[in-house]
Structure 1
């Protein structure tokens, strides 16, 4: 084997090693939760909802309707919580996603459901003070 061939083989081996190391690093970060977005996520479908509740450790799902006055009062609170916490805020329009609302037994709006690690941790019906909601989010680790 010539000196040039040996050098090329060394470079190839070094590159293989670097690529393997990069792949190991990617695998190591799989268990780390994604940082929640700083604004509410508007849910488009049941699959999208499932994706959001599985992606983030703590998710506050706000089931609302455009025609609902109390829902509109709650909207700025949800936006502030998205900015101030590491919990994802999911906005679910019950008129657009009736099946999802039925699946989660939403009988009136506003209804907020707090998910922790994909499981329901708390259900809030009606308008609540921001501090009450914040306390629940912190309890679930979405500080």
Structure 2
């Protein structure tokens, strides 16, 4: 289990390095208000981490998933593509590792997708969704349009 935790920490470190590099290459300053949207899903490590991600980004799509869930596995390529292509930050909550958080989010089935805009949950879907459906949800709440 500690190897898995260390792998996730390393992924977070690498993601932060990429974000920093992107900001530096694009002339952005570390203190600017607009956060760089990560191009990969963010592995959520608890309630505080989720709150920080939601506070940092205008639009966040949260995927509550389980490794054993077939529809979650089918949705994974879509989630990764949305993280790379959309203006929304994409976050993932492993409901087995973070049962209390999943319960607080109201994830009674998986996958449960919750869209946050302006720090508040604005949309919720349960079950596998098409990329087009999720893009429409994100676009409907995106402030950069």
**TM-score, normalised via structure 1 length:** 0.76
- Runs (4+) of structure 1 exceeding 3 A deviation are none
Residue 42 of structure 1 corresponds to which residue in structure 2?
43
Asked whether the 8 Å contact 1:87–1:142 carries over to 2, the reply is no
Provide the TM-score with structure 2 as the length reference. 0.75
1:98 lines up with 2:103 in the alignment? no
Q: 1:132 to 1:142 in 2, by over 3 A?
A: farther
Superposed displacement of residue 95, structure 1: 0.5
Return the offset for 1:33: 2.5
Tell me the CA shift for residue 142 of structure 1.
6.3
Give runs of aligned pairs for residues 102-121 of structure 1, distance below 5 A.
102-121=103-122
Contact 1:35 1:86 in 2 (8 A): no
Uncovered stretches (5+) of structure 2, i.e. residues with no partner: 1-28
Q: Deviations over 1:86-135 (max 9, x none)?
A: 10000100001111111111100000000001100100100111001001
Task: List runs of 5+ in structure 1 lacking aligned partners.
Answer: 1-25
Kindly tell me: are residues 123 and 69 of structure 1, through their superposed partners in 2, closer, same or farther at Cα, counting changes over 3 Å?
same
Matching residue of 1:6: none
Greater radius of gyration (CA): 1
Instruction: Give the secondary-structure state (helix, strand or coil) at the position aligned to 1:72.
Output: helix
Superposition RMSD on alpha carbons, in Å? Answer: 1.5
Instruction: Note closer, same or farther for the CA distance 1:130–1:75 as it changes in structure 2 (3 Å cut).
Output: same
> What corresponds to 1:76 in structure 2?
77
Structure 1 residues 142 and 92, CA, compared in 2 at 3 Å: closer, same or farther? farther
